[in-house]
Amino acid sequence: MGQPQQPDGPPGERTPLRVGMVGYAFMGAAHSQGWRTAGRVFDLPRRPVLAAICGRDEAAVRAAADRHGWDSAETDWRRLIARDDIDLVDICTPGDSHAEIALAALAAGKHVLCEKPLANTVAEAEAMTAAAEAAYARGQLAMVGFNYRRVPATALARTMVEEGRLGTLRHLRVTYLQDWLVDPGFPLTWRLRREHAGSGSLGDLGAHIVDLAQFLAGEPLAGVSALTETFVRERPLPLGTTSGLSAGASAGTGAVTVDDAALFTGRFASGALASFEATRYATGRKNSLRIELNGERGSLAFDLERLNELSYHDGTEPGTHAGFRRILVTEPDHPYLDAWWPPGHGLGYEHTFVHQVRDLVHAVAEGTRPRPSFADGLQVQRVLAAVEESAEKNSVYTPVAG
């Protein structure tokens, strides 16, 4: 299998990293922002080049190339992968095509960045992880896009857990709440069909919070006990071009074949207990990802809707003046912040994608394994499968396959 070609630029210039991205809607726009911006903010060892963007509709993909700053456009991802002027393939399509595109890209000698969830099934994720391991031996890297690890506040939280500031962890309490399905007239987009999305709130929102909880705890979940529900089982068919989160509705209807909400408890091998809630029916909650960790020495709390802040309670302080305090995570010593704005000026959602690119470009240049790896993505997929199995068996405690 060929190695990705690494052309030299002009003397004194950093070697380009030529990216080909598949999909140009929500995540396509967010990843474009990351690829465009990372090298202008961070001092990167390689220079990202937005070489080609790929979609199926020629006019739409050309318009997307212009809008997002890509040098060329392709209408078939196989042609994109066959190009020898592409070093890295970035997969921003629904889950039904992740495995096929990632396996082909790795076989063609490319590095791969794949959106979450890694795949629609455990079997697909296993094949992708095996291919990524074989590719690593050839010098190729593969990473999955769990971008919430790259919020400065969550990265700081991980450091604080690692430093032992919370002591032994007892509880993780995690919710990811949205409300875009409250209206029963919202159409049946790909996110509501199992053959495209794999699962519903579980694979979409649940995958994020399982990854984040395991990242913060520093260990995988050992088992789960779950409830899932589909509240609205029939929805209008979409009209015309759809993205996963928006579409017009037609007169006909079709069956929703995924969960609308997933609630589950989980146990870590260390003995810590966790609770999870993922739903698209939390009226008024737009993108509310909250996580609280309680340990024997302290606690941490994070809310994505206030993502520049981390709450910390130091349980070793005297009770007279102890309490949760707000850390404003905008100091140059905080993760990723040395390259951004002066303290207090704040970052947002889009910056997680810039940080994702920063970390991946470093890994490619230095030949280190990027995290979250495909193996991390597979582990999340196994948790999702255990949740579905438990829910089918009236919430019976179900070990996560190892």
Q: Which residues contribute to the site for ligand NAD (CB under 6 A)?
A: 22-28, 54-56, 77, 92-95, 97, 115-116, 145, 147, 204, 243-244
Comparison of 287 and 316: residue with beta carbon closer to ligand NAD:
287
Q: Choose between 28 and 48: whose C-beta lies nearer to ligand NAD.
A: 28
Instruction: Report the nearest approach of ligand NAD to the CB of residue 374 (Å).
Output: 14
Please state the closest distance from residue 18 (CB atom) to ligand NAD, in A. Answer: 19
Of the pair 20, 295, the CB lying nearest ligand NAD is at 20
Minimum CB distance to ligand NAD smaller for 147 or for 299: 147
Tokens read off for 327: 């850390």
Closest distance of CB 78 from ligand NAD, Å: 9
**Looking at beta carbons only, is 92 or 156 nearer to ligand NAD?**
92
Residue with Cβ nearer ligand NAD (245 or 328):
245
CB of 97 to ligand NAD, least distance (A): 5
| Bridge partners, 144 (sequence order) | 114
- Nearest to ligand NAD of 94, 266 (CB atom): 94
What's the CA angle centered on 127, arms 122 and 132, to 5 degrees? 120
Identity (one letter) of the amino acid at 383? V
Residue 234 Cβ vs ligand NAD, minimum distance, rounded to whole Å = 21
Per-residue tokens: 195: 């053959």
The residue whose Cβ lies closest to ligand NAD is 25
Our CB check for ligand NAD shows the closer of 86 and 272 to be 86
As measured in angstroms, the least distance from the Cβ of 244 to ligand NAD is: 4
C-beta of 274: minimal distance to ligand NAD in Å? 21
Residue 41 C-beta: closest distance to ligand NAD, Å:
19
